Amino acid sequence: MIRICRSVLLSSALAGTAAMAISLPTFAQSQQQSFEITDIRIDGLQRISPGVMFSLLPVSIGDEFRPGMAAEVIRSITESQYFEEVEVAREDGVILITVLERPSVSEINISGNRVLQTEDILNNMASAEIVEGGIFTRSTLEAIRQGIQEVYSSRGRYGTTVDIEVTEQPRNRVAIDMTVNEGQESRIRNVNLVGNNEYDSDELLDLMDLGVKPWYLPFSGRDKYSREQLEGDLERITSYYLDSGFARFNIDSTPVSVTPDNENIYITINVNEGQQYQVSRVDLVGDLVNAEALLRAYTLVGPGQTYSQALITASEEYMTQILGNLGYAFANVEGVPEVNDDDQTVEVIFYVEPGARTYVNRISYRGNVSTADDVLRREMRQLESAPASSQQIELSKIRLERLGYFSTVEVQNVEVPGTTDQIDVEFDVEEQNFGSISFSVGSGGGGDWFIATDLQAENFLGTGRTVSVGLNRSYFSSSARFSYVDPYYTPDGVSRGFSLFAQKQDSFQNVASFSTTSYGGSLSFSYPINEIQQIGYTVGYSHTELTSGSGFSVQEIEASPRLLTNVDRYIIEPAILNPWEGPVRDAVTRSVSDLSSEFLNQGTDPGFIDKYGRSFDNFTITTNWIRNTLNRGQLATRGSFQQASAEVTLPGSDLEYYRLSYNTQYYRPIYGNSWVFHVRTNLGFGDGYGDTKELPFFQNYFAGGLAYNGVVRGFEENSLGPRSTPPVQYRTDFTNLARDENGVIRVNEAGVAAGYDGSRGYLTVPVFDQNGQPVLDENGLQQVQLATETFDIYGDRNNFGGNLLTTASFELLFPMPFVQDRGQIRSSFFVDVGSVFSTDCTLRQQRFNSCSDFDVGQLRYSVGVGVTYLSPFGPLTFYLAKPFSRDERDQTKSFDFTIGAGF
């Protein structure tokens, strides 16, 4: 046998690479000659299959083996990194290859790390091809150890050590145990600026995220060193100078010193300010595609201005956008400042390279699992085969975001391979909950029970249509409703919807008691005016029947007291049952008709039912205008929303009234996209016209809690504003004693009457004049009037609402800590203000000071924090609030939540 070549792979911890040594014995060299390979034999394989091994060889059986091929065989095998040693020998026409495989990694264990996640370390090792089941190389592992230490050093942990233990295991495997000792985190003790004359150090240090921790912020992390943060701070300082005209500004060096105990860090920033420069000339060169005037209009830099790199960058972006709108999707605009140090001026030249005009080849969508492509495609303003417009592509993205079906919408332009003038537009969306479905059954206090099911699907079966179905049955309500909206009833965006409802319902929470039975429906159309505005019309019909609550309605609904149908007499003297008090007899009564109306003690201010009856058929028409520039359909962070509506009953309706409403929302980011200022206002006014002199009370506005369009958190639902006047009833008593079949009063052995026969009469009280003297009738007898009493069965349920609504919310939206997906959850600090007023206060309400026209002093305020989460069951909203500026009659609620309605 002739040994041809042997290779041993050596590791170098310093270089991190494998070295190859090839030895060709002199006695073998002298005998080398070409021969035909009759067989190839491989020895030493354990995990590597022969098939993989043969695929690495540059020769095969039947080939001619020429001098020098041994080195080529070894090189091909060693480049696979599978083997520690390779030996090649010849026996006649047989090539003998002996290998020693590198060990494989059986497991990787990491401990002691807190700052760096284990997953991040494993990913870093995987990028260097050290993974469980992979080939083990010590040189690469050493480089990883040094890299981890450098990462910790960049984060201010200079004392970090990484110990690695490699344990050999059977079958040529090794286990890697990595122990990280992170040590103490070094803290910044001083940042020193050297060379700054134009701006003082405090002004520049305020631009930095890193620095000495203020004494008044004990939990601040500003003194935690990070190389990446320092680089960002240096860029901010540089931009600050460049934007202020210092075109030659430079940061010469930033030495970072660490004390021997690795606890304290001292940073020195050496700056060279230079002189302040002015812009002398601005010019555009290149292919301006006949749009020079338009491009110059968006150039923010002009002669005589102080040089500003920020204005140059903004001009580049504007001009690139303009060219993109003209179809040049890959345009490039670069503003190059040419500095003249002699007179401290800068000539700015914008080099315009529009590239080829591009056309959209195809628009595609990814991520819309439930939503049909057609729903997305009809929102497109960029069309296929049309010139690519950056503006139209961005507008298409915004329209998808406003749908509210997707938590994120991303878009990218991809060049079509083999072309220079075509792109594909790819939208990547992530669907979120776009509706809610719920089923509930249970009971409440006092025997109240309920069963309810609701479906609210704003993207029903992915069609983009909205379907809402609800069936409810409870102690106080029975209802069924159905609504349907097709936002693209016509291809050009005209929407159509209709709704049907039937319900029998007692008044809702905290509201003066009454009952309604109603049914009806509506048909609506909405027409787009432009990309952000639409106007809609709704025609509706409703039949409503009113019932006084529990037989005793508040006086604003039905005047009281009212004479009872089965009582027609009033009591002069009560009945005598005990013979010790006089002869046993019936009460002395008279007919109520004998009393003058002034002594009936009836109210003179009629209620709504007294004036208009109990049953109404109303036809309404509603005009609705919407302007929407919000960036998202749910949990927006910028833009505004305005809605104005006017509802009026049509001629032929039993009631004549109108309602005007205006709602608005405004979002403005104040720090990135995480801290956002939000304002929400709700205004409403309604009144009667024609024969109806007031807004029907069941159409009143309400405010308090999370009431629809009347949000003032911290107060009970619907509890603010005018209150009703409790009903008054006549006092009655029994009149006639019980008798036997012969008409004789029944008495017991003691002669006491056995009781009454059920007849009743009204009790009376004497009447006195203003001087306190008895009022006598024509016979000289004391005049009497019917006695009354207030019958307040409602307790706190006396809120009545009003025809004037004014509420507002001021919020600071902030990112919730430890939450990754901030598109699904929102937290805020808020101040709410508002109330409900009435321009039609009744005399009774004025007498009891329970109603007022608009009065700033009657507004209610609250502060608190709130959270909204887009759950799979619909939006969940929670809040904690502290009300103030309240009176003793206000009902407060510090905590509340709602399911299925975001705020």
Using the structure block, give the residue that is written with the tokens 């020193």: 192
Q: What percent of the chain has pLDDT over 90?
A: 44
Tens digits of residue pLDDT in 347-363: 999 999 998 899 999 99
Query: Do the domains 278-353 and 359-431 sit in the same CATH topology, yes or no?
Result: yes
Sorted by where each begins, the domain ranges of the chain are 2-101, 104-181, 187-272, 278-353, 359-431, 507-550+610-726+796-899, 563-601+732-786
* DSSP secondary structure code for residue 631 in this structure: S
- Asked whether 6 and 87 are in contact (CB, 8 A), the reply is yes
Q: Which of 168-172, 195-199, 850-854 has the highest mean pLDDT?
A: 195-199
Tens digits of residue pLDDT in 620-673: 999 999 999 998 878 888 999 999 999 999 988 999 999 999 999 999 999 877
CA distance 487 to 374: 13
Question: pLDDT higher for 761 or 90?
Answer: 761
Contacts of 106 (CB under 8 A, 6+ apart): 132, 133, 169, 173, 174, 175
Average pLDDT estimate for 32-45: 83
Average pLDDT along the chain: 85
Q: Is the pLDDT of residue 474 over 70?
A: no
Q: Is the pLDDT of residue 465 over 60?
A: yes
Tens digits of residue pLDDT in 61-81: 888 888 888 888 888 888 777
Query: For residue 430, how far is the Cα from the chain centroid?
Result: 15
State whether the Cα torsion 434-439-443-449 is positive or negative. Answer: positive
Question: Which of these CATH numbers, 3.90.950.10, 3.10.20.310, 3.50.70.10, 3.40.50.970, describes 359-431?
Answer: 3.10.20.310
Strands of 495-638 (E only): list them. 495-506, 514-528, 533-548, 569-573, 588-591, 615-628
SS3 (DSSP) at 267: strand
10 Å CB burial of residue 901 (0-12, 13-18, 19+) is middle
pLDDT of amino acid 548: 67
Q: Which helix (H) or strand (E) holds 31?
A: helix 26-31
CA distance 875 to 191: 47
pLDDT of amino acid 513: 58
676: which 2 tokens?
């956002």
Average pLDDT estimate for 477-500: 89
pLDDT of amino acid 510: 45
Q: What percent of the chain has pLDDT over 70?
A: 89
pLDDT of amino acid 6: 42
664: which 2 tokens?
């608005």
Question: Which of these CATH numbers, 3.10.20.310, 3.40.50.2000, 3.40.640.10, 3.30.930.10, describes 104-181?
Answer: 3.10.20.310
Give pTM, 2 decimals: 0.65
Average pLDDT estimate for 197-221: 87
Question: Which of these CATH numbers, 3.20.20.100, 3.90.180.10, 2.40.160.50, 3.40.50.1820, describes 507-550+610-726+796-899?
Answer: 2.40.160.50
- Asked whether 896 and 713 are in contact (CB, 8 A), the reply is yes
pLDDT of amino acid 52: 82
CA distance 219 to 208: 18
**Residues 546-580 as b or e (16 or more Cβ within 10 Å = b):** bbbbeebbbbbbbbbbbeeeeeebbbeebbbbeee
* DSSP secondary structure code for residue 674 in this structure: T
Tens digits of residue pLDDT in 665-712: 999 999 877 899 999 999 999 999 999 999 998 899 989 887 667 889
Strands of 147-211 (E only): list them. 161-169, 173-181, 187-194
Question: Which of these CATH numbers, 3.20.20.10, 3.90.199.10, 3.20.20.80, 3.10.20.310, describes 2-101?
Answer: 3.10.20.310
pLDDT of amino acid 505: 67
pLDDT of amino acid 443: 39
| Beta-bridge partner residues of 440 | 452
pLDDT of amino acid 452: 52
831: which 2 tokens?
């101040």
Question: pLDDT higher for 730 or 604?
Answer: 730
Task: Quickly state the pLDDT bin for 13 (edges 50, 70, 90).
Answer: very low
pLDDT of amino acid 17: 35
Q: Is the pLDDT of residue 7 over 60?
A: no
β-pairing, 449-457 vs 466-474, is antiparallel
| Residue type present at position 395 | L
Tens digits of residue pLDDT in 143-163: 888 888 888 887 778 878 888
Q: Is the pLDDT of residue 549 over 60?
A: no
Task: Quickly state the pLDDT bin for 738 (edges 50, 70, 90).
Answer: very high
Secondary-structure class of domain 187-272 per CATH: alpha beta
pLDDT of amino acid 448: 43
Average pLDDT estimate for 378-389: 91
pLDDT of amino acid 891: 84
Question: Which of these CATH numbers, 3.10.20.310, 3.30.70.3460, 3.30.70.140, 3.40.50.300, describes 278-353?
Answer: 3.10.20.310
Q: How many CB atoms lie within 10 A of CB 865?
A: 17
